Amino acid sequence: MIIDAQADFRSLLMHHVTTHWPDAIISAYDPTEAGHLPDEFSGAGNDLVLLGDRHGEDREGIEVLQRFVAKSSFPPVVYFGSKADRDAVRKLDPDAHFMRDQINHDALIVRLSDALMAKRRVSSTESLFVGDMRTGIHPLIKGYRFITKLGATEHSGVYLAERDSTNQLVVLKVLRQMADREDSIGEFDRFLQEYETIAGLHHPNIVQIYDLGVADDHAHIAMEYLDGGDLRQRMVKGIDEKNAVSYLRQIASALTAVHAQGVLHRDLKPGNIMLRKDGSLALIDFGLAKRAKLENEITDKGEIFGTPYYMSPEQGHGGSVDERSDLYSLGVVFYEMLTGEKPYKADTAMGIVYQHAHAPIPLLPARLGRYQMLINLMLAKEPDDRLQSAGEIEEWL
């Protein structure tokens, strides 16, 4: 159940939920149109309640949250508020809390999944994940000491860990074997094969792989811990022209090396480009999007991988992709680095996908006009009209 007075915000939350759970049954409630929920409302029949802070002029969202969390049998509550009520929300301790204007899809799905798992009191002893699913998932990987969870999806977890043999901080990525899925073995094997290829590469702009392992119910990868944050965070602060071009060169160089091994990234976006403290970039998450099926209603041809804002037209419509699709995604990233804006925006994922395929290529500000031809060559709608390899980006520059 989604409760908030703003229709656009209810629609946004619906999109986040149905993108991950296409069969979810969602009821949306507008307290300004339908009236405030009565005190005896118990939330019965709902697995989750997503509660926004907009309830009209005569009631504060924090008041509603207080009522909900006070009920012992109430379903898990995820609250979406503002900085002004953050301290009050923390005291009430809902199952999760987000700033309504700073919602990250992956983080939201992880927290919703955790809340659902906690409700069902799931504690798995049949996989590498054991312990209380609400307070933390602790991986059991021989040779590594768990420090903290960095993130998770339905099939994989990401953890900060310390390598026992060297006391070195590493990032552990763990893929669970899903025994009840027909294609899980194929996913499992391809996950390792992909990273075995990357592990053989020693490139300054590709994350370093230290270890690959497999057990009966999981595969794991230990890789370099990149402590400078991701490019998305760097974009928030603003990137000047010189650094934007430098970052473009580094990412293109990494793609040249990866494509030479016959590997496509397929999910190139600022969140998958990390910085080191020295300012250099490293590309991460090679092929990980291929492993976790991201079902999407956009097409009936098969799987859609990636993030709509950065998808090539062919990828967004479920067509075959090659290296030129990664170049398109890089063109979107470059445009965003230069301008601070995404080239295409819409209220829905479908709208964004449509624009990638049909909307004109946006123009850069006049001061950046020297890069317009490069943007045109990277964001061309047809793959044949684009640059044909990442190496051509350096040649053009």
Question: Would you say 17 and 48 are in contact if contact means Cβ atoms under 8 Å apart?
Answer: no
Tokens 């290829």 sit on residue: 197
pLDDT, residue 289, reads: 37
pLDDT, residue 212, reads: 81
Pairing of strands 144-152, 156-163: antiparallel
Length of the chain: 397
pLDDT, residue 181, reads: 47
Confidence tier at 20 by pLDDT (50, 70, 90): confident
* Averaged pLDDT, 319-340: 94
pLDDT, residue 338, reads: 97
- As a whole number of angstroms, the distance between CA 190 and CA 24 comes to 29
Burial (Cβ within 10 Å: 0-12, 13-18, ≥19) of residue 140: middle
pLDDT, residue 299, reads: 33
2-119: CATH superfamily: Response regulator (3.40.50.2300)
Confidence tier at 177 by pLDDT (50, 70, 90): low
Average pLDDT, rounded, for the chain: 82
Same fold, 2-119 and 129-224: no
Q: What is the pTM of this model?
A: 0.60
Closest residue by Cα to residue 325 from 344, 316, 312, 336? 312
* Averaged pLDDT, 102-119: 82
Pick the CATH number of 231-396 from 2.20.25.90, 1.10.510.10, 3.30.1280.10, 1.10.3720.10: 1.10.510.10
For residue 152 the two structure tokens come to 């998770």
pLDDT, residue 301, reads: 35
Whether the pLDDT of residue 354 is over 60: the answer is: yes
44-89 tens-digit pLDDT: 778 899 999 999 888 899 999 999 999 878 889 999 999 889 899 9
The alpha carbon dihedral of 266, 361, 271, 279 has a sign of positive
18-32, 39-53, 75-89, 174-188: range with highest mean pLDDT: 75-89
85-99, 107-121, 234-248: range with highest mean pLDDT: 234-248
Whether the pLDDT of residue 294 is over 80: the answer is: no
pLDDT, residue 193, reads: 64
- Phi-psi bin for 243: left (phi > 0), alpha (psi -120 to 50), beta? alpha
129-224: CATH superfamily: Phosphorylase Kinase; domain 1 (3.30.200.20)
Determine the longest span between alpha carbons in the chain, in angstroms: 68
Closest residue by Cα to residue 79 from 54, 50, 111? 50
What is the DSSP code (8-state) at residue 95?
S
Question: Would you say 212 and 221 are in contact if contact means Cβ atoms under 8 Å apart?
Answer: yes
- As a whole number of angstroms, the distance between CA 90 and CA 70 comes to 14
199-244 tens-digit pLDDT: 778 899 999 988 887 765 677 888 999 989 899 999 999 999 999 9
Domain boundaries, the chain: 2-119, 129-224, 231-396
Element (H, E) at 29: strand 28-29
pLDDT, residue 189, reads: 63
By annotation, the residues acting in catalysis are 267
Whether the pLDDT of residue 135 is over 70: the answer is: no
Whether the pLDDT of residue 174 is over 60: the answer is: yes
pLDDT, residue 27, reads: 86
